[in-house]
Amino acid sequence: MIELGIGLALACALMSNVALLCKHRGATRAADVRFTRPLQSAKALFSSRWWTIGFAIAFVAWGLHVAALAMAPLSLVQSVIAGGIALLAVPARHWFGIRLGWRELVGLGLSASGLAFLALTATENVTSDSSYSVSAMAAFEGGAIVIGLALLLSATRDRARRHGGLLLAAAAGVMLGVSDVALTALADAVPADFLAIVSPWTAVAAVAAVLSFFALARSLQIGDAIGVIVVSSVAANAGAIVGGVLVFGDPMGSDALAIAARSAAFAAVIAAAAMIPATPQQPTQRPTPAL
C-alpha cells in the first residue's frame, strides 16, 4: 500500500509542475489579480485558456495527492512531492523553453538520492495515521496561518516588487500546507462517515486553499516562473512535513541512526528544491488591468 502511495505522490509532483507552468503562462496573459476583487480576478484568470488548462491538470494532481495521503504518512508523501520538484526540469526545458543550469542539475541529483533513500527505507509497518491531538492541530494550523498572512502583508508593502513575487509564493505555499494538514485530518474520517466533513478543519482547508489560489496567481504574474514555483513548493512541503511529524506523529525512524538518516534524506529533497531556481526571465507583457 505504501509503495502505491509513493507512486501516486510522484505522479502528483509531475502533474503539479506541468500545471504550474501552464498557470504561469496563463496568469501573465490575464489582468492583474486584486485581492479586494476576488470574483473579478478569478473570472479574468479563467478567461485565459492556459490558466484553465493548468487548473484542470492541478485538479487531477490534487486527487492523486489526496489518494496518496490515504496510503502513506503525510511527511513521506510531502517529501516525495518536494523532491519531485526536480521533475520540473523536463517540462520547463522541453515544453516551455525555460533554460536550466548547473544548479538545476545538482538539485535533480540531490532529489533523486533523497527520494531513493526514502522509498527504500519505507516499510509496511509505516502506515498512514490520521489520529491527532486537537490542541496540537489548532496550534500548528493557527501558527501557520499567522505566518502566511504576515507574508501576504509583506508582499503588498513591497511596492518595488523586488521580492513581492517570492513573498507571495511563500505565502501561497504556507497556506497550501495548512490545507494539506487539514485534509489529512479528514482523510480517514470522511470515507467512513460522510457527515464528518462538517468540521472546522474543512473550513480551514477551504479558506487556506482560496488564499493560496490568489497568492499563487499574483506571484506568477509578478515573479520569475521557476523561482515562484520552487519557493511555493518548498514552503508547502516543508509545512506539511512538519505538520505530519508534530501533529500526526509521523515516524522519523526506529532508532537514532535511522532518524538521522531519514532527516538527512528529508533535508536533501528540500535542498534539491531550493537549488532549482533558474536565471530570471524577461518580464512577459500583460494586458492593462481592466478591473
Percentage of residues in the chain with pLDDT exceeding 70? 80
Tell me the CA distances in angstroms from 112 to 196, 228, 271, one per residue in order: 38, 22, 12
Say yes or no to pLDDT of 280 above 50.
no
Q: Where are the domains of the chain?
A: 2-274
Say yes or no to pLDDT of 49 above 90.
yes
The pLDDT of residue 38 is 93
Higher pLDDT, 218 or 118: 218
| Residue 120, burial from CB neighbour count under 10 angstroms (0-12, 13-18, 19+) | exposed
The pLDDT of residue 215 is 95
Among residues 134, 136, 129, the alpha carbon closest in space to that of 184 is found at 129
Give pTM, 2 decimals.
0.78
Higher pLDDT, 169 or 192: 169
C-alpha cell at 199: 468540521
* Average per-residue pLDDT for the chain: 81
Mean pLDDT value across residues 229-235? 83
Q: Please check whether residue 80 is in contact with residue 9, taking contact to mean a CB–CB distance below 8 angstroms.
A: yes
Mean pLDDT value across residues 276-281? 49
Please, where are the H alpha helices in 84-163? 89-94, 102-121, 134-156
The pLDDT of residue 87 is 78
List pLDDT tens digits, range 77-105.
877 887 777 778 778 878 888 776 777 66
d(CA 8, CA 127): 15
The pLDDT of residue 124 is 44
List pLDDT tens digits, range 117-139.
766 665 544 444 556 788 999 99
Confidence of residue 192 (pLDDT cuts 50, 70, 90): low
Sign of torsion, CA 39 41 46 52? negative
Say yes or no to pLDDT of 258 above 90.
no
The pLDDT of residue 163 is 78
Mean pLDDT value across residues 65-74? 84
Confidence of residue 285 (pLDDT cuts 50, 70, 90): very low
Query: Which of the given ranges, 44-48, 222-226, 255-259, has the highest pLDDT on average?
Result: 44-48
Say yes or no to pLDDT of 46 above 60.
yes
Say yes or no to pLDDT of 213 above 80.
yes
Least confident of 28-37, 90-99, 154-163, 260-269: 154-163
Confidence of residue 196 (pLDDT cuts 50, 70, 90): low
